[in-house]
Structure 1
Amino acid sequence: MSSSLLIMSCANIQLSESFSLTWNITDFSFADGTVQSSIFTNASEESKWTLLMFTCGVPYEEYLSLYFHWISGPKTGIPIKGRMAILNSDGEEAISRGESVWRFKTVKLKNTRCVCVFSHFLNSHRILQNDTLTVTCEVCSLHLLHSPENTQRSQVKVPECSMADDLGDLWDQSLLPDCSLVVAGQEFQAHKAILAARCPVFRAMFTHNMMERQTNRVEIHEMEPEVLKELLTFIYSGKAPNLQDMAAELLVAADMYLLERLKRMCEEALCRSLTVENAAEILIFADLYLTPNLKEKSITFINQYSSDVMRTPGWKTIQKGHPYLMAELFHSLVSAGASPSKRPRTECN
């Protein structure tokens, strides 16, 4: 059936919370395929809708599917509550779909978002009046339906996860410890399971046949107690509150215990702390502990302030003990297109 043969009317085009819709499809016997109503909206015009009819003709009967079609509106898809009916020639409901909640989903027909209200075989001679099919639709709301339960859930504020704080308290308060870590004569109580879960080195100590597994005691050398305390704080809570004040020492500890995230945190802190006075020392440090970002940042910084950095004691250390770093600095300067007068000198001042 061509669209020129259709005469359709929609009642209550501007929709409020409740509305009714009547759709008259004339020349129904000519219908073949898809028939679409005119567009209607809700009161705020935030959503647009149509009715769709799909037909499939068979001898003496028509197979009919009726859809509520969402054209535009909130991207979440809109459930609505309503009912739909087909009237007979006497204006009475011949076929109806009881009140229910319709939820829209994308269907394979023109990639539209529809809800199928019902599908049915029709006897045209009992349903049609002057070859006109009349469809009525009642909708309670075109807004998102919120049940009392849903409304209540939307008002509940879910607390933030406190796992890190809880584990931090376990460490701070020494609750139920089962091992100890000793450094410079100072002992720290800890928990083997947490240490093993968070640190590969401690995991190896406590899961293999090593002395620490037998004694539940770990002797730590070449580390200051405050650094170990910060290291353990990170293991338990993922935080290092004093990192900025001990970034270099903590990076060494993180490297020793294979704590990659903590090592990168320290690297970032050292990048922020670069000055003319410490740039050369930090470059040496970055090269020693394999921190590529810090090394690159240090080289860039030295290139930018080369004349000032060359007057520092750290620069003399590079000249005397790290000739390969001098070569990397020269290469970087040449790559950056620095003039010869700005290149670092190899001779001592």
Structure 2
Amino acid sequence: MEAGQGPAQDRAAGATPKTSLSCRTSSTSRINTECISHHWTIENFSKCQFFQSGTFFSEEFPKDSSLVRLKLRLDLTKDYASICVVPFHGMQGRNCVYTLTLLGEAGRPVQRYFHNGFHTLYRGSTNYLGIELCKAFLYNRENKCIHGDALSILFEVEFLADSTNTPIKRTDIPVSPLLKNLAGLLEDKSFGNVQLTVQQRNLYAHRDVLMLSSPVFGAMFSHPTKESQEQVIHLPDQSFDAMREMLLFIYTGEVPNLDKVAEDLYVAADKYSMSELKTLCGDYLGSNLTVERAADAFVLSNMYSDAELSRSIARFIADHLVAVQRTAGWKNIWGKPDITERLFMLIADIGNTLESAT
């Protein structure tokens, strides 16, 4: 059916016009935290070189809780003083950030130590939170770290717990009449002065609008090309649905069926140098990956040198590697060493980045 027949028939039948709405949604994600603050005082400090605090825990949990229970250890037997935070009982791996403060007289902060980034604590792990203290600083009387043969330490740790999301809020916004009118221009071929032939079907648009929207169309119509003279563009390598969505984006800034044509539209946007549309499609592809399509999506991103999309897909594949390796898409890329090498380099880089962050 030629474009324009459906709407014309509706108007002829006297159909009641419907109010068009666009939908805007919003939500909020919140990372919940569990905080513990422990004040440790070591009396008769000069009498020993190894100390261990009692077990402490969050007030949010009872004493028999196995979730968050810790001890502090202070070791002065080496050339430096070290304080370790030891997970106790059933911690299953908790990400945390922490601060340790040496307190002087009257609880006055003397020196504060921060841990940059996140650290993960596991029960029974030797990968403790460790802080090295300069012995010379600790014993220097001018710094007043030790008072009355006692050392006071304030330890504060914040564990990252689960996250919560507020329900998605939907707001229906009436579509601008101008946008509806512009979209209507695509429905009636009598208004168009350029014909786009795709898969033996025709779409109609306006030369000036296409030229302003795409430098490729601009160059095509600015020179005495066949397309410029005949006002007909044949697109044998494009999808009709994708080209229709591209025209809707050009005229209205919207892509109502992005979920159905994202990959084809991504390719079309690249071909016609429409960077905003390509970014829109790339963001959608990167946010809606599946195990079955991940390998093919990586090939696509690599083909069009989309570093940001490639990295998003590599992260997804790293998280679901075993499942992805069972797919047909994975078998297809396994015979392409340049692509697999690129993929595993990205996965390794992502792993190194995450490791350095902790």
TM-score bracket for the superposition, by shorter chain length: 0.3 to 0.5
Larger radius of gyration: 1
